Chain A
Amino acid sequence: MHPCSRRQWLKTAAAATGAAFTDPLIRRARSAPTQPVAVARCMTYGPELVPALDKLFDQLGGLGRIVKGKTVAMKINLTGAPSYRLGYLPCEDTHYTHPSVIAATCHLMMKAGARRIRLLESPWSTADPIEEYILQANWEPRDILTAGDNVEFENTNFLGNAKKYTRMKVPFGGYMFPAFDLNHSYNDCDVFVSLAKMKEHATAGITLSMKNCFGLTPATIYGAGAGIDEPSILPKGGRSLVHSGYRQPSKSAPSELHPDSPRADTYRVPRTVVDLISARPIDLAIVEGIKTMTGGEGPWMREKITGVNPGVLVAGTNCVNTDAVCMSIMGFDPMADRGTPPFERCDSTLKLAEAAGLGSRDLGKIEIAGMPVKQVMFDFAKIRRERRARG
């Protein structure tokens, strides 16, 4: 990783301000849309899960209006290798989207008339089928695939089943990238769903429905082993290329807009996420916080991390609104800026998304259905303060 000097930071912050917060963008932020966000209490992955999700979607006006007759692409979160656990806890109880939530969501979508559901993820350093990946986490793919007649997985970390990558442009021009070359599945769908886990994140402060989409990028183009001119055949390593900007993506794909911008991941990752969700808008954001972890996005964190049971589900049709509500449930202020928890070191993905006109993060403007935030709040922020006070 390249350290970012204060001088470099000020220079780029000025450039970024020029790019992001000039008048048109301030206007966009002020007029950023809002949609209702639904919140539900659900303490376990047992029988209470399907009714809780069903009610959650009803509070958004029902799944039928979103998925009926449609092909749904759903990005799940399987970050890190399946053999990597927080202590002895299964991945799904800490950092992976739980298979029961995936299966239950598929079931309800099929019941609501979805034509087809394609479950997508770009798993760590492999082009193997997702089914093979999750078997290694002790999951049974059939538990998910049998949730409906037409449910399938696709590994989007490489070209996959298509003959070429699909170029997806960033409508507002982009903070980092003007467009991305992605696996076809992100374009070959009518509805795109981000089914995320509620977690803190070392680089981006939090990871919710928006940050989940960082994994849209195929490592064959944006990963450590990406081809220089053309995408590599097989993905290798993580997305260090995007994190630290030590090189550009494969030349076949659009390169960065501002190669002189900071190489710090805390600057780059939040902006890249906003570019991605602008290029591939999220039609339905679902955040699962039934069981999760504090202290970061996966067991590799150096901070003291623990498995926790907040027992909450959140969903909305605007991902910025949804993540703002999630942040408040986690005890953080969604209006927080760089320097304030959970963005002590990084830029706020929510602020950047709002400035790009993707949605408001202002809780005063967002209608919340279902459980009031206070009743489901699980104070990640307090745990974070205490953890850091202890060093």
Chain B
Amino acid sequence: MLSLLQATPVRHLLLDSAVPGLADAAGKAGLVVVEPQAVPHGVTVVKGPWPGIRVSHSGGDRASAGPTGEPWVDSNGWRIKMARAQHPGGPIWVDAKPQPSRSSKEDYTLAFADAAAHGAQWIIGLDDELAAGVAAKKPEAMATWQRIVQGAAFFAIDPAGYNDQAVIGVLSTFSGPRSFTDEVLNNLARTRQQYRAIAAQSMTPASLSGLKGIIYTDAAEPPADVRKLVLDFVNSGGMLITGSAWGSLPKGEAQQSHPRFSVRKTGNGAIAIGGTFSDPYRVPNDAVVLVSHRHDIVRFFNSGAITPCLAASADKRRTTLHTVFYSLRPVEDTSVWVKGSYRAARIRTWSQPQSQNVRLEKRDTGIEIHLPAVAQYAMIELES
């Protein structure tokens, strides 16, 4: 069985239970054997759902719809971003178990893509049927396994040296059981706005780089040093979106009218105060409008269900846009607009792994690219 891992990018083998002789054999084959409860130092494991468009519980193959009527996508992106905020710099492994009803070879590609686009790696796991098929060396199962191996190589993306580009930040301690703020982050990811999770414990001025707004919905007041950093951000032109839990706020002249927020001008920026929050869907959807789509840095057209993640090198000379397309069929006629000035663009997709030049057109304050048909994943590299 270990021969399946030869000449693949797989370097670690997680063993749930002791299989006599396997650990030794794996070690001899150059693999690091790991127990799930004792992952290598610095690695954070994120547990999450099998990514993809959720299929209706009412049966058939109908997709479930979210509050907007859009298909409900299970993605671990927000969990990965949260983990990266809490454990900056360390590798993130995603533990997402295949769901039998959604375990086509395309679904396995999605599992890699969903993790990699957000800067993590998926812990390869097979559903029972595929595992049995691979063990029996059935041709169809082996073909899927080969695709998984290709996926492991293709999605070995190292996020080091690139910083997430974001418009809105979600600030929280991210402590304790799944909280209201976790759900805000989850729903913010669904708005397609570029976002960043910021852990209050390790917040620095750099955490706010490029942001136009910050959401704070924790139940407790933030620490004094965090308050200062955020209010400095507001004074220099940013927007704070928060509720009564924030505590005292500077007085300011009332600005725009909003049914759920009182918006006050503060310094060069503004504070939107929303009382006590109860709806983790409305808060992020209000936030993207309060901050304004004027500050969008990525806009997609005809993309279907996606998660786009924009990242830039430290010198801002190179920008990459990783996009997961959750449709299992290729998506056609997709256009993407990216804010900024770029002179060249290349695209690499799961079905066309070799990087290819793609034409870009200047449009307003950004550039627009027309994508070829894309299945599951595309990475666009932009040069300034």
Contact = CB atoms under 8 A, between A and B. Distances in A.
Contacts of A236: 69
Interface stretch (A131-139, A270-278, A362-370): A131-139
Q: What size tier do the contact residues of chain A reach? A: 10 to 19
Nearest to B68: A125
Interface string B297-311: 001111100000000
B293 A85 contact: no
Most buried by A among B293, B294, B333: B293
B221 interface: no
A317 B68 CA distance: 38
Q: Interface on chain B toward A: helix, strand, loop, or mixed SS?
A: mixed
Interface string B349-380: 00000000000000110001010000000000
Interface string B256-299: 00000000000000000000000000000000010011101001
B112 interface: no
A367 to B, nearest CB: 42
B93 interface: no
B302 A84 contact: yes
A113 interface: no
A177 to B, nearest CB: 25
Q: What size tier do the contact residues of chain B reach? A: 10 to 19
B337 interface: yes
B241 to A, nearest CB: 15
Most buried by A among B301, B335, B337: B301
B68 A88 contact: no
Interface in A145-202: none
A83 interface: yes
Interface string A197-236: 0000000000000000000000000000000000000001
A113 to B, nearest CB: 29
Contact of A83 (B69, B300, B364): B300
B294 A135 contact: yes
Given A83-B302, A83-B303, A87-B333, A136 B293 contact: yes
Nearest to B286: A128
A129 interface: yes
Contacts of A128: 289
A260 interface: no
B354 to A, nearest CB: 23
B69 A88 contact: no
A237 interface: yes
B301 to A, nearest CB: 5
Shortest 7 CB-CB contacts between residues of A and residues of B: A135-B293, A88-B370, A85-B301, A87-B333, A132-B289, A128-B289, A83-B301
13 contacts: A85-B335, A87-B302, A88-B335, A88-B370, A125-B68, A125-B69, A132-B292, A135-B292, A135-B293, A136-B296, A136-B299, A140-B364, A299-B302
Interface of B: 68-69, 289, 292-294, 296, 299-303, 333, 335, 337, 363-364, 368, 370
